[in-house]
Structure 1
Amino acid sequence: MQSFRVVGAMAAAALVSGLAVAGAAHAQAARTGEFGGEATLASPAHAPPSATIDGVAWRCEGDQCLGHAARRSGADGLVKECKRVAAVVGPIASYKSRGRELTAGQVRACNRGAVTIQTARN
């Protein structure tokens, strides 16, 4: 019984420690204004190898795209941000940025909105 308590306490400490590190990294990025985004594509065939979207440099390899910018304001909502990326790189299976991730329903809205943006450009 005693060993279960020790293991449980160690697991809890590791979890708290991991959350603290992740929180500190997110807070540092927020303070410096850095932007980091990640998109998994539904189909890698359509994605350009790199593109700049709203001041963020996106690089795609296979079905993974990573976005980075030294400075970027966070005024746009996550779905709106995703729509702009999907309009350039193609349909998205998952999207995260600034420590948040879209739900499945939000990803569907992102992809529908991207089609609207593409149509307006043409």
Structure 2
Amino acid sequence: MTHPVDVHVGKRIRHRRWLVGMTQQQLAERVGIKFQQIQKYETGANRVSASRLWDIADALEVPVSFFFEGIESEAEQEAAQASAVAAAMPADILGDKEALDLVRSYYAIPENQRRRLFELARVLSDVA
């Protein structure tokens, strides 16, 4: 499971790299690692150590603090979204007839189709 801070730092690395017109390979060479590691940092799959972040900041000519800019507002937005979702849901979700009907219908669908439906619902809810 990726941590939101790692994802944010990775996005900021990618953003800065694109702004300066540098490829993952070029950044990796300047930092002394493989480009696959840069890919993992940018997606948040791997956590960037403090010393490596220092090297990346140097290669991209920004202060280390650049990678953490905007993280507070992002956390506030996520909290507001979670609050809105919680407010839209009934307090006792399994006591809601519509929710129970939906769950029963969902489990009546064959498993492979159910997984596809679940992924669709996840994508749609992330967009909303």
Q: Which TM class, normalised by the smaller chain length?
A: under 0.3
Q: Which has the higher contact order (CA 8 A, sep 6+)?
A: 1
Q: By percentage of residues, which structure has more strand?
A: 1
**TM-score of the two chains, using structure 2 as the length reference:** 0.26
Q: By percentage of residues, which structure has more helix?
A: 2
Structure of higher CA gyration radius: 2
